[in-house]
Structure 1
């Protein structure tokens, strides 16, 4: 039986991944701050690189608003390291996201179209905003690389949601 997709207002259970630079990164679960979680397709995706570069340029705005940034993909450490070397992103990145972890997040999973694209199944984009208690405020998942929330608009909306203690929407 497939894992049910998470719903707004539910608790996102902690998902542990190895973190670039050592240690672990945790998606979901209880933490001190709100979190912006971005799941990306991997090194083969030029749209992901553009999106993550915009996020990197905005990271101080997100941090100033009280959000931790957590980024992850199914890529192995070597591919993530190659992207870090090229783009210099300075947020925490988890790697080796498993298919079971993808299912827990509810993201779509794709097979590579060619061997040159990648050598494993990978997660399609997902963006989540999670409260410190682990409850999901916002879920945005896409079945392809072209649909993702615009980060300035998302930040503006999440600052409003946080300041006004707005509940999660779309719970039914």
Structure 2
């Protein structure tokens, strides 16, 4: 059962994630830059890896306009294995808790087998957060096959940032 979705146009509230390489990253707290938070299913998901490979290839373009943070429920070892295999250059976080999944309004899935993974995990989600901590954009999916096109998303976010567009879909 999912809890209510986070409200666009309202503060997300700070969420803190453990970061590969040490330390933590907090999103949703007031800061200097926009943030794009990308939640992926984990090491077991080949679609996620293709998506994140594309994101990593575009990262310089993204970083011109906003910070990018990527997180999954995987433990550090699995996240590190993906980082090592693919050479991703974005901030990669791990151990997304079920409470954090619920706070983000994500769909939460049980593994279909031990071969998939050994814990509950979040289905994909993408969240644009203003420097004020206000949630600007939410895109969530209940499965691996649906996620925003990264080229379109970047183009749209550049427009939203430069034109200071308000959050939509408030009602």
Residue 54 to residue 2, structure 1, CA distance change in 2 (3 Å): closer
Q: Residues 19-38 of structure 1: matches in 2 within 5 Å?
A: 19-38=19-38
SS in 2 for 1:78: helix
Cα distance in 2 for residues equivalent to 1:127 and 1:84? 20
Residues 93-148 of structure 1: CA deviation (Å, up to 9, x unaligned)? 11001100001111100000010000000000000111000111110000000100
Partner secondary structure for residue 58 of structure 2 = helix
Conservation of the 8 A alpha-carbon contact between 2:27 and 2:133: no
Partner of 2:135: 136
Gaps of 5+ in 1: none
What's the Cα RMSD here? Answer: 1.1
Structure 2's unaligned 5+ residue stretches are: none
Report the equivalent of 1:63.
Answer: 63
**Deviation for aligned residue 1:165:** 1.1
> What SS does the corresponding residue of 1:155 show, helix, strand or coil?
helix
Q: Structure 1 residue 75 and structure 2 residue 74: aligned? A: yes
Which whole-Å CA distance do the structure 1 matches of 2:9 and 2:157 have between them?
Answer: 15
Is 1:100 aligned with 2:99?
yes
Q: CA deviation at 1:25?
A: 1.3
TM-score, normalising length: structure 2: 0.97
Deviation, 1:2, is 6.1
Distance 1:2 1:123 in 2: 11
Q: Which residue of 1 aligns with 2:4?
A: 4
Tell me how far 1:27 sits from its aligned partner: 2.3
Alignment: residue pair count: 171
* Aligned mates of 1:62, 1:85 — CA distance in 2: 22
Counterpart residue number, 1:44: 44
TM-score, normalised by the number of residues in structure 1: 0.97
Q: 1:90 corresponds to which residue? A: 89
Q: SS of the counterpart of 1:93? A: strand
Q: Distance in 2 between matches of 1:11 and 1:3?
A: 17
In the aligned structure 2, how far is the partner of 1:155 from the partner of 1:35? 12
Deviation at 1:57, TM superposition (A): 0.5
1:53 Cα deviation after fit? 0.5
